[in-house]
Amino acid sequence: AQRVTQPEKLLSVFKGAPVELKCNYSYSGSPELFWYVQYSRQRLQLLLRHISRESIKGFTADLNKGETSFHLKKPFAQEEDSAMYYCALKDGAQKLVFGQGTRLTINP
Amino acid sequence: GAVVSQHPSRVICKSGTSVKIECRSLDFQATTMFWYRQFPKQSLMLMATSNEGSKATYEQGVEKDKFLINHASLTLSTLTVTSAHPEDSSFYICSARGLWNTGELFFGEGSRLTVL
């Protein structure tokens, strides 16, 4: 069965430091992966998807099929990056399976 | 951008009563809507997939008679929690996928249900 694992519930870094939020998945098919973000008091929204190969708000994520990972990275964290981040996988039934989420806190 | 609205955002009800939560796509037509449940400090758990004009598909372990889902139009899906009990207290979130189906989901703001 498909599964998304985010090993860190909490991650705290200083402003300007690099950030990496880990995400591993298990899926027998060809995965389609996403990162969603939820800022304080706001709804969940799409941050980026692997098929777009884009950088959003300085964040990038590369799909590594060998390691079954889709880690989210940003070279220099900003205070406004503090939020809850969810890694998600779209399965063959077009459903999104979410990881447990990582709460990122950027310290000034 | 695509907007999904949920109503009510908060509801408190007595045990044994039924509560209806609405999910509307305001500026797009949604072929598919999803209902999630989120417990405090936990991830979103998919409850059911709702397709317009057809019966909802429930995830394993979700009681279809307890959580009634109706998707009568391309812009509205409703979740009714029947005979609510305190253990049904939770945050319920809906999301919708547009006709263009890029895979992106648009989320509602969520509805917090408290059953006394």
Contact of B80 with B67, CB cutoff 8 Å: yes
Q: How far is it, in rounded angstroms, from Cα A39 to Cα A49? A: 18
**Predicted local confidence at residue B103, as pLDDT:** 65
Interface test with B, best of A10, A43, A45 (most B CBs within 10 A): A43
Q: What is the pLDDT of residue A55?
A: 85
Please list the pLDDT of chain B residue by residue as tens digits (116 residues). 688 999 999 999 999 999 999 999 998 888 889 999 998 777 889 999 998 888 899 999 999 999 999 988 889 999 999 999 999 999 999 999 877 666 678 999 999 999 99
- Region A76-90: what's the mean pLDDT? 96
Which among A9, A49, A100 has CB closest to B103? A49
Residue B51: predicted pLDDT: 86
| Interior/surface letters B63-79, b for 16+ CB within 10 angstroms, e for the rest | eeeebbbebeebbebbb
**How many pairs of residues across A and B have Cβ atoms under 8 Å apart?**
42
Distances (CA, A) of B76 to A66, A96, B1, B64, B66: 41, 20, 18, 19, 20
A80/A50: higher pLDDT:
A80
Peptide bond into B8 cis (omega under 30): yes
| pLDDT score, position B98 | 75
CB contact under 8 A, A96 and B105: yes
pLDDT score of B59: 93
Q: Which amino acid is at A105?
A: T
Per the CB < 8 Å rule, is A34 touching B42?
no
What pLDDT sits at residue B102? Answer: 66
pLDDT in tens, A7-63: 999 999 999 999 999 999 999 888 899 999 999 888 999 999 888 878 889 999 999
Chain B residues within 8 A of A44 when measuring between CB atoms: 44, 93, 95, 107
**Cα dist. B52→A33, A52, A95, B63, B78 in Å?**
25, 28, 16, 20, 11
